[in-house]
Structure 1
Amino acid sequence: MEKKWQSKLFLLFLFSLLSPCVPLNLPSHGCYWTESCQNKWVGGCDAGHVAIAHSDNCHGLCPQPENSPCLPFYTHFQCCKLESPKVTDRCVKCKNKVDYGDEYVCCTDCSDPYIMDANTKSGYCMTGAELAVQLKPREHFKWVAGPWMPCSSPCDGGIRYRDVECFGQIEDISIPHYPVDDGRCSEKEMPTRQEPCNLRSCGELSNKRSRASNKRSGMSSWMVTLLVVIGVIAFGGLGFAGYSIYQRKNSTQQGIVYIMLDGYS
């Protein structure tokens, strides 16, 4: 009985040592745990894969009871398939991405990408998503000028100012423009930040105002005179009309008295 147990243990040890390092159904990308226990020093992952972790029970992720705990000095390896990133247009929208100057590298599900070779940008996504690369959208820069401020002087020449800032905007992305360093914009195309204003002399402006004031005063005097004349004419007309009515009333009363006296005689 003891010999049978020892033989079984030896066969299990031999099977663990010679068992394949990776499962038969390998995923096309991403990471997985080996189905069998591998020797910590001899075992590992298949070619084209990297071992990123190892655990006796796959950190609790190995299915049970298919995978029993490994014997001493044996473990499960977590293997990730190295792949070159494929071209996509979704990396810009991902927060978790690696910036390589002119392009981004990301996972298609926006999880964290792990890059093993910065030159070839080969790596893996632990979630099983595919590794992707995208050229950065072109960024345009332009000057934006604000409104002019009031002139510093009403006459004899002043200066007025306005704010001029450099703004950037990413091509094909519907986000508002954002302020950037002025060095990003072309210095030749920069609008002026200040210019002269109110160049007329204060004396010329004063004379013009005086003439305008005199013109308004002359017009006012003429209007007053016209109103006085109209008032005199109106008053005279009213007086004449009242006198005529008074005379007419007196003449009518004398005629009536005369007729009555003539009838009695």
Structure 2
Amino acid sequence: MTGTSRMKMEWLAMAAAAAMIGTPALAQTTGKNERQFPGQLDSKSPKDDDHPYQVRTMPLEAGKRYAFSAESEDFDPKMRLSLADDNDEEIAKDDDSGDGTDAYIEFAPAQSGTYRVRVSSVGDSKGDYVLKVRDLPPLPAPLRPTASGSSNFVFKHYSGALTQTDGEIRGRRVDDYLFRFEGGKQVLISMDHEDDDLDPLLQVYPAANRQGADPIAGDDDSGGRMNAFLSFTPEESGDYIVRATGSTSDRSIGSYRLRVGQQP
């Protein structure tokens, strides 16, 4: 075999390998800092647990912001982003954050390099898709706000315990507290569990309708570690019920601490 023939065969092998994963050279540039990579999942596509996929590689610059979207009318697309190295460690993934069932990821690389974008089907469906990569503008500098005023909340603390002798609503033990709140002023309420068997749940009702099905405010886990925290502003001054309970019937027993405060 001549040297020219050998070089031609090596070039053809490299081209075939690139075609299997797709390359940025196939991109179609639009007028919005966007590159489009049309693709197709078919019977020849590699599979991961029966999900066909296609991989494309592209260079990304550290510190720049990119938006990736995988759009298809033929299947529900999913995206996976990783560094193009031997580890292939997953950096980001998405299924339905785009329009409809399209996939969407915003990403700012910590290091420059070549990255892999894998487009796959959520199921075993196949068909055409378009991978779009758009350059995003840098984020503006963080604001350095100047406060226009301040509010000092005074919280009152209450220790309580939900037991088998407490009232029961829909299978959950409850403690109902009566408070008077002023209309138009923010109220903050927290409920922290002191017993691992209790998963706190807070609800607020008008005092005249505490047996109603729908509270005017409620929270389960916003306080962290299963604790409850809520903020609401009553429209009118009056009496309100703050209900301390558990999220489910089997997690509504135990000790807790309640904190209630209103904007002065």
**Rg comparison, structure with higher value:** 1
- TM-score normalised by length of structure 1: 0.20
- TM-score normalised by length of structure 2: 0.20
Point out the structure with the larger helix share: 1
Of the two structures, which has the highest relative contact order with CA contacts closer than 8 Å and spacing of 6 or more? Answer: 2
Point out the structure with the larger strand share: 2
